């Protein structure tokens, strides 16, 4: 599954629906945090796997295939493929069935075949297909809710990986939807109540227009064709057991879909906890929460659970007390958490304007929300930047990730800051310069940081 850009469908590169790929840059690199989810009991999930239409049909295809010859491409001969479609009652249009020259030109049958082969329901040796290992079938027939669900869930995980991997080759019949499949599923993962089909269409169209700089005529064509393409794609995903609610116009992940998408997000390195995993952080003090974040013991998703237990003003007051008494690491962590709060937290943030190490953060927070606040000079902005960079020194693996830190761009602005850093008056300026000299990937920045650090040391003698 390709890496989702974010939890909502917007700002992503989307290819044209006629199959031509887009030249938009692939910007999918960030580790994302998703809201905690409540997963169904594993035993109940496992019991649902054999009932998924895709799984049931893949098993029927495996039983139908038995032992028979296949092509050098490890596919059914086209004559056998047509017979399988007819005898299994697969919904393949007659004209497509007649026009197909090879089995992989029948998308539904090819999907079933791929799933059956890749999950071990069918074993292909050379040009012979034969029944898979007994375990592949026995795990279905012998399973009950008192058994171990892990084997069936591992099988289901493999099924979903196979389905999602096919998006690169054309899963849904729409290149636009295939390209956005990961984002769509991530969106549904984040929205437990589902999302209106019209909202999905709008998000994809906006993404394509912005990220791919689509021309007006192309957007007019997509506006007309995408709703139908998306509906067909959603019906296919429902057949695959991933989503439900399509008929009501508000698709959402099934319990099995939620479990499978989470597995995929975890494989991609994203933060996708369960409610049980983050519940332990809800009752921490602000100081304990910040310490857990800095130490890498708590993922960003723990913040949402912690905030839910507190009124915004109370949460802000606790956090700002930690920031005022702490160092750059605490201030950086608190600043990140405060970004989740709205104007309801104004009063304690305004009180923090009297704190010498926190007032700049408080003023910036107020400015962003268009609330009255004291002005921030260029020197104040430089102080915040250095403080933010210094916070990396107090985070688990923070200094190792300095090259990708958003505060470091553009390089020209950073060069200016490095040269004037001693004038800012931040106590951690020298440590920040040493970090940039050792870690920043741009040679000019690293060289300038070394030069300024040497100058600061020589002046201190």
Asked whether residue 140 carries a pLDDT value surpassing 90, the answer given is no
Mean pLDDT for the stretch of residues 369-380: 95
d(CA 433, CA 454) in angstroms, rounded, equals 10
Rounded to an integer, what is the distance from CA 398 to the centroid of its chain? 21
The per-residue pLDDT for range 171-198, each reduced to its tens digit, is 998 988 998 899 899 999 999 899 999 9
- Show Cβ contacts of residue 461 under 8 Å, excluding neighbours closer than 6 positions: none
DSSP letters spanning 286-353: HHHHHHHHHTTSS-THHHHHHHHTS-HHHHHHHHHHHHHHS-HHHHHHHHHHHTT--GGGHHHHHHGG
Given this model, what pLDDT does residue 141 score? 58
The residue written with tokens 């069935």 in the block is 97
Asked whether the beta carbons of 345 and 338 are under 8 A apart, the reply is yes
Asked whether residue 444 carries a pLDDT value surpassing 60, the answer given is yes
Asked whether the beta carbons of 408 and 440 are under 8 A apart, the reply is yes
Asked whether residue 146 carries a pLDDT value surpassing 50, the answer given is yes
The per-residue pLDDT for range 312-333, each reduced to its tens digit, is 999 999 999 999 999 999 999 9
The per-residue pLDDT for range 85-137, each reduced to its tens digit, is 999 999 999 999 999 999 999 999 999 999 999 999 999 999 999 998 755 55
Q: Tell me what percent of the residues of the chain surpass a pLDDT of 70.
A: 87
Asked whether the beta carbons of 113 and 166 are under 8 A apart, the reply is no
d(CA 435, CA 430) in angstroms, rounded, equals 9
Give this prediction's pTM. 0.76
SS3 of residue 72 by DSSP = coil
Of 9-18, 51-60, 62-71, the poorest mean pLDDT is in 9-18
Q: Residue 96, Cβ neighbours under 10 Å: how many?
A: 13
Q: Residue 73, Cβ neighbours under 10 Å: how many?
A: 10
Given this model, what pLDDT does residue 210 score? 80
The per-residue pLDDT for range 377-436, each reduced to its tens digit, is 999 999 999 999 999 888 766 555 555 455 455 667 888 999 999 999 999 999 999 999
Distances (CA, A) of 219 to 105, 210, 230, 407: 29, 11, 15, 35
Q: Identify the band that residue 6 occupies on the pLDDT scale cut at 50, 70 and 90.
A: very low
């Amino acid at each position: 599954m390709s890496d989702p850009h974010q939890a909502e469908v917007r700002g992503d590169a989307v290819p044209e629906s006629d199959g031509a790929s887009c030249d938009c840059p692939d910007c999918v690199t960030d580790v994302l945090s998703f809201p905690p989810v409540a997963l169904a009991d594993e035993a109940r999930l496992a019991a649902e796997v054999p009932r998924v239409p895709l799984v049931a049909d893949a098993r029927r295809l495996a039983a139908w295939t038995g032992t028979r010859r296949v092509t050098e491409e490890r596919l059914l001969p086209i004559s056998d493929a047509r017979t399988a479609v007819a005898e299994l009652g697969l919904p393949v249009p007659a004209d497509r069935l007649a026009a197909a020259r090879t089995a992989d030109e029948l998308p539904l049958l090819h999907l079933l075949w791929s799933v059956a082969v890749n999950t071990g329901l069918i074993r292909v040796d050379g040009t012979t297909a034969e029944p898979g290992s007994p375990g592949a079938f026995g795990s279905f027939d012998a399973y009950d809710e008192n058994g171990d669900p892990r084997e069936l869930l591992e099988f289901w995980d493999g099924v979903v990986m196979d389905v999602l991997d096919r998006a690169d080759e054309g899963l849904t019949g729409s290149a636009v939807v295939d390209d956005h499949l990961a984002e769509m599923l991530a969106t549904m993962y984040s929205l437990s109540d589902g999302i209106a089909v019209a909202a999905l269409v709008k998000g994809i169209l906006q993404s394509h227009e912005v990220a791919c700089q689509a021309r007006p005529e192309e957007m007019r064509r997509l506006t007309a064709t995408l709703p139908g393409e998306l509906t067909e794609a959603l019906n296919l995903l429902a057949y695959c057991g991933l989503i439900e609610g399509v008929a009501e116009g508000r698709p959402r992940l099934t319990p099995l879909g939620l479990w499978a998408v989470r597995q995929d997000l975890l494989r991609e390195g994203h933060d996708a906890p369960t409610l049980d995993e983050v519940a332990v952080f809800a009752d921490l003090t602000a100081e304990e929460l910040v310490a857990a974040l800095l130490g890498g013991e708590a993922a960003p998703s723990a913040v949402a659970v912690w905030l839910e237990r507190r009124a915004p003003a109370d949460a802000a007051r606790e956090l700002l007390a930690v920031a005022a008494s702490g160092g750059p690491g605490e201030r950086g962590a608190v600043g990140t958490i405060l970004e989740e709060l709205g104007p309801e937290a104004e009063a304690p943030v305004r009180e923090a304007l009297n704190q010498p190490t926190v007032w700049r953060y408080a003023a910036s927070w107020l400015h962003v929300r268009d609330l009255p606040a004291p002005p921030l000079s260029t020197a104040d902005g430089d102080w915040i930047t250095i403080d933010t960079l210094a916070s990396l020194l107090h985070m688990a693996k923070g200094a190792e990730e300095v090259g990708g830190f958003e505060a470091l761009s553009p390089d020209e602005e950073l060069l200016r800051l490095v040269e004037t850093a001693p004038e800012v008056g931040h106590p951690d300026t020298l440590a920040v310069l040493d970090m940039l000299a050792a870690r920043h990937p741009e040679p000019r920045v690293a060289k300038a940081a070394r030069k300024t650090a040497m100058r600061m040391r020589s002046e201190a003698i």
